[in-house]
Amino acid sequence: MQKALSWLEFSTSVEKGPQMTACDFLASKTGLSKMKIKDAMNKGAVWIKKKDRLHRLRKATSLLQAGVHIELHYDAGLLSLVPPNPVLISDQAHYSAWRKPAGLMAQGTRFGDHCSLLRQAELFFHLKRPVFLVHRLDRESDGIMLIAHSKEAAAKLSALFQKKEIVKEYRVEVLGILGDQDGKGTLDTPLDGKTAVTDYVVLAHDLQKNTTNISAFIKTGRLHQIRRHFDMVGHPVIGDPRYGKGNKNREGMKLTAVSLKFRCPFTHRNVEFRI
């Protein structure tokens, strides 16, 4: 019995000949069943080039013109995942605030987007509102994220993040006893050759568990900044699957984006979204 195909990257340009649907064409070229191709298309794993840019192609019955470029990035493991559900916190028309659960990506990859907040928000609004990513949150983290619903909103919110005019607060549990109760500190070791600043306040110690709960505030947004900074000083985030030793647990990573505060670029009022 032939082993089921679990991973494939396929890229080609359609040759001249009888017009075929995208589903039929990919099934004939890859050996995958039409059912698997349709599932992959629906979950964002098929791309077509339009005006020199790749776009996701989801409609299985789309007819392919000769010369068009099409790609399939197939990962059976990823496509089989059932995404955790995000929660809408507030709909501000121009943008919305969500609680992204751990395990959900901010946006998709070339292998699909059904496990991303952006796609889940798009489906929540029944595909009637555009969605734009304006900032990121690690897949392993949970917490508040903003999604823009117009290019104007995306530009204005992105500018606030770039100008550091959005206050981002994180609740973190780290390994070991860090500082004094109510003590404050700053971690400013550069990351990837760039300035990185993480301020924190000690909230509580748990001597039995040998952990410290803190509030962290980042002034820069480097890759895995909080996780890397606390690991560097010997206090890795509890449950972090990538950084630290002796900090693993079965309950996931103890890092949550609990608050976003900023002046709304549309109402010009101070707003805060908190969990």
182 counts as catalytic = no
Q: 81 is written with which tokens?
A: 């995942």
Residue among 174, 221, 168, 212 nearest 194 (CA) = 221
CB contact at 8 A, 154 and 132:
yes
| Pairwise CA distance, residues 122 & 221, whole Å | 25
| Count of Cβ atoms closer than 10 Å to residue 233 Cβ | 13
Element (H, E) at 200: strand 198-206
CB contact at 8 A, 5 and 31:
yes
Residue 98 neighbours by CB under 8 Å, 6+ apart: 86, 87, 88, 89, 117, 121, 144, 145, 146, 147
Catalytic residue among 39, 138, 231, 240: 138
CB contact at 8 A, 257 and 170:
yes
Task: Tell me the catalytic residues.
Answer: 138
